């Protein structure tokens, strides 16, 4: 990763704006998730707009021009249209021409999936530089009264430029999925069902609810704390790195209790900086890891070139992780 950029929506939403609708409290939210505030996008802060802003920062940090990018790989689960791909539109917004571009849908593991694909494109000689973007507008998919989700998910974008280097900067990926647990995090109805409900409501004079994200938090937590240790150790082993060799650990910012559990089972030493961006950013799914990397680099918690373990996990259920060298920021 040669350079990194980030976009955080303007609107900061503290817990106090959410608690009444879910009959909760600031203390309960902080205890359950570690979240004190999050960012929700305004109408003009679109998937494409946030992606483009983060990408421009990443290009600036890298010092290369947009026309040198050979592919754009964009990870998201909240693009509200099926086509064209957001990646293709972002490429055009950045002034690219005839550039390969495609979207990846792998939930909260999306950025690490996209990063693995980008690294392999460069290794194979299929691309000189690849722009990788993780972006979400999950506030569009939130039921504001849902006690399990309304306080967790948020919006934002992060981007990195991937290119060749003299030494390995993105280790082999450890990834996988378990489709038997799709009910743990899912959209509660498909759009065909939604359109049918809308038609029925119009005919009867009733109303219909749009599709929302639903989550079984306990199921996700059990899976995370029992399975993800293996995923982390696989990523470390494939890179030939011990946990003691790490400078930073950047897990998906899903829940501070999951992060704490992973630190314990992995035996992460105190010398390793652990990303805690969830406290002020919330869970931004595919944008979570690049935003957390940016926060560490911006605040001095990590430095360019540091060795870090990334781990994305969530809807699918899917996971992906790799050992990387931290990039520079724009």
Helix (H, G, I), strand (E, B) or coil at 241: coil
d(CA 76, CA 226): 26
DSSP designation for 130:
E
Distance between the two ends of the chain, CA-based, in angstroms?
Answer: 13
> What is the Cα–Cα distance from 8 to 3, expressed in whole angstroms?
17
Q: Are strands 3-7 and 155-163 parallel, antiparallel or unpaired?
A: antiparallel
Find the length of the chain: 330
- Tell me whether residue 252 is one of the annotated catalytic residues: yes
Q: Round to whole Å and give the CA distance between 48 and 80.
A: 11
Q: Which of 15, 117, 255, 283 is catalytic?
A: 283
Strands 3-7, 129-137: pairing is unpaired
Per the residue annotation, which of 15, 117, 232, 252 is the catalytic one?
A: 252
At a CB cut-off of 8 Å and minimum separation 6, what does 325 contact?
1, 167, 169, 170, 305, 306, 307, 308
Q: Which of 108, 112, 149, 232 is catalytic?
A: 108
**Distance between CA atoms of residues 141 and 124, nearest Å:** 37
112 is catalytic: no
Q: What angle, rounded to 10 degrees, do the helices at 256-266 and 217-239 form?
A: 40
Report whether 157 contacts 293 (CB < 8 A): no
Residues 6 or more apart whose Cβ sits within 8 Å of residue 161: 1, 2, 3, 58, 59, 61, 62, 64, 69, 129, 130, 131, 132, 327
The residues that are catalytic are 108, 252, 283
């Amino acid at each position: 990763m040669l350079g990194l950029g980030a976009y955080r929506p303007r609107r900061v939403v503290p817990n106090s704006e959410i608690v009444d609708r879910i009959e909760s409290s600031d203390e309960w939210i902080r205890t359950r998730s570690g979240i004190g505030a999050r960012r929700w996008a305004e109408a003009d802060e679109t998937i494409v707009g946030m992606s483009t802003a983060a990408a421009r920062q990443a290009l600036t940090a890298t010092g290369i021009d947009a026309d040198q990018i050979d592919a754009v790989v964009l990870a998201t689960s909240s693009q509200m249209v099926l086509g064209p791909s957001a990646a293709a539109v972002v490429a055009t917004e950045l002034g690219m021409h005839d550039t390969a571009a495609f979207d990846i849908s792998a939930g909260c593991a999306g950025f690490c999936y996209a990063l693995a694909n980008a690294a392999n494109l460069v290794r194979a000689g299929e691309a000189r530089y690849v722009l990788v973007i993780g972006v979400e507008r999950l506030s569009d998919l939130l039921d504001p009264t849902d006690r399990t989700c309304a306080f967790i998910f948020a919006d934002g974008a992060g981007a990195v430029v991937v290119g060749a280097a003299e030494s390995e900067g993105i280790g082999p990926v450890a990834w996988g999925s378990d489709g038997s647990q799709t009910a743990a995090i899912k959209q509660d109805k498909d759009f065909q069902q939604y359109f049918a409900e809308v038609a029925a409501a119009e005919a009867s004079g009733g109303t219909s609810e749009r599709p929302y994200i639903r989550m079984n938090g306990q199921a996700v937590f059990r899976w995370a704390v029992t399975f993800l240790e293996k995923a982390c150790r696989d990523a470390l082993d494939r890179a030939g790195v011990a946990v003691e060799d790490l400078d930073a650990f950047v897990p998906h910012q899903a829940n501070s209790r999951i992060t704490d559990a992973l630190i314990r089972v992995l035996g992460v030493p105190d010398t390793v900086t652990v990303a805690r961006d969830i406290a002020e950013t919330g869970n931004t799914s595919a944008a979570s890891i690049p935003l957390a990397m940016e926060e560490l680099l911006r605040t001095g918690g990590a430095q360019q070139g540091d060795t870090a373990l990334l781990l994305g996990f969530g809807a699918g259920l899917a996971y992906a992780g790799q050992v990387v060298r931290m990039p520079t920021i724009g």
